[in-house]
Amino acid sequence: MTLSHQQLTLNATTATLLTTAFASEIDYAGDLTILVQNHDQSKHVLLGSSSVTTSSYGIKLDPLQYIQIKLRPEDELYGLADTGTLSCGIIKVQH
């Protein structure tokens, strides 16, 4: 098992590919668990596909909330701030 972490800044206009932070580290033979934490105390992180917007998203992370998502290495997870900019933490666990 391999563990890596990153902090990313998200904005409300352009979706950020959250899994790209680990592209050079991914072993394409195993599953990938991503933990995403919203570090902001008042704004929300919106998660979804590359088409995620402030009005169309899959998951809405409340302030200081985190979520664990199991992905295949080729899956892509995008994030967006609901307003302004915010910081989110990401941990990748390669199985």
Predicted confidence at residue 30, as pLDDT, reads 64
pLDDT at 93: 84
Helices and strands counted in the chain (H then E):
0, 8
pLDDT digits (tens), the chain, 95 positions: 778 899 999 999 999 998 765 555 555 556 778 999 999 999 999 999 999 999 999 999 999 999 999 987 778 899 999 999 999 999 988 76
Distance between CA atoms of 62 and 74, rounded to whole angstroms? 27
Give the separation between CA 8 and CA 75, rounded to whole angstroms. 18
What CA–CA distance (Å, rounded) separates 11 from 26? 25
- Residue 94: the pLDDT is 74
* CATH code for the part of the protein at 2-94: 2.60.120.770
Residue 39 phi, psi dihedral angles, 5° rounding:
-85, -10
Phi, psi of 60 (to 5 degrees): -115, 110
Question: What is the value of pTM for the model shown?
Answer: 0.87
Show me where the domains of the chain are located.
2-94
What number of CA atoms fall less than 13 Å from residue 39's CA on the CB side? 11
